[in-house]
Amino acid sequence: MTLEEYQKQVDNWAQTLEKPYWSPLSQMARLIEEVGELARIYNHKYGDKVKKPSESPDDIEDEMGDILFDLMCMANVEGVSLSKAMNKVINKSLTRDKDRFKKKTKD
């Protein structure tokens, strides 16, 4: 499914609700909450945090899905095409930043 189709599918779901989208600052707070949950899992997996035995198994995939879902809701409210946004950032990586990171060298 394309990014546009995902955004549309999220909107189709949202439009079934009495209040389709939260206010922008509520959406932002939720995004922070979801990013914080991913940070917790990263700290368990890659950082110095030790799991408490009571913690349930973490699922990076689920947290990333939640972040992407939030971002799509925010994009829908703003009228932003994430597809267009991605094309811009990929293009920027390939051009503007092309000398910013060290490239592999041919042997």
**What is the sign of the dihedral through the CA atoms of 29, 89, 65 and 18?**
positive
Copy the structure tokens of residue 101. 């990171």
Which member of 8, 11, 58, 80 binds its own copies (CB under 8 A)? Answer: 80
Nearer to its own copies, 48 or 57 (CB): 48
Q: Nearest approach, Cβ of 57 to its own copies (angstroms)? A: 15
Which residues does 40 contact at the CB level (< 8 Å), separation at least 6? 49, 58
Residues 20-49 within binding reach of its own copies (CB under 8 A): 22-26, 28-40, 42-43, 45-49
Helix (H) or strand (E) holding 87: helix 82-94
Which residues does 97 contact at the CB level (< 8 Å), separation at least 6? none
Backbone φ and ψ of 12, nearest 5°: -60, -40
Tell whether residue 8 is a contact of its own copies (CB under 8 A): no
Which member of 11, 102, 106, 107 binds its own copies (CB under 8 A)? Answer: 102
Tell whether residue 105 is a contact of its own copies (CB under 8 A): yes
Please tell me the distance from the alpha carbon of residue 45 to that of residue 1, in angstroms, as a whole number. Answer: 30
Q: Contact positions toward its own copies, by CB under 8 A?
A: 1-3, 6, 9-10, 13, 15-19, 22-26, 28-40, 42-43, 45-50, 52, 60-62, 64-69, 71, 74-75, 78, 80-86, 88-90, 93-94, 100-105
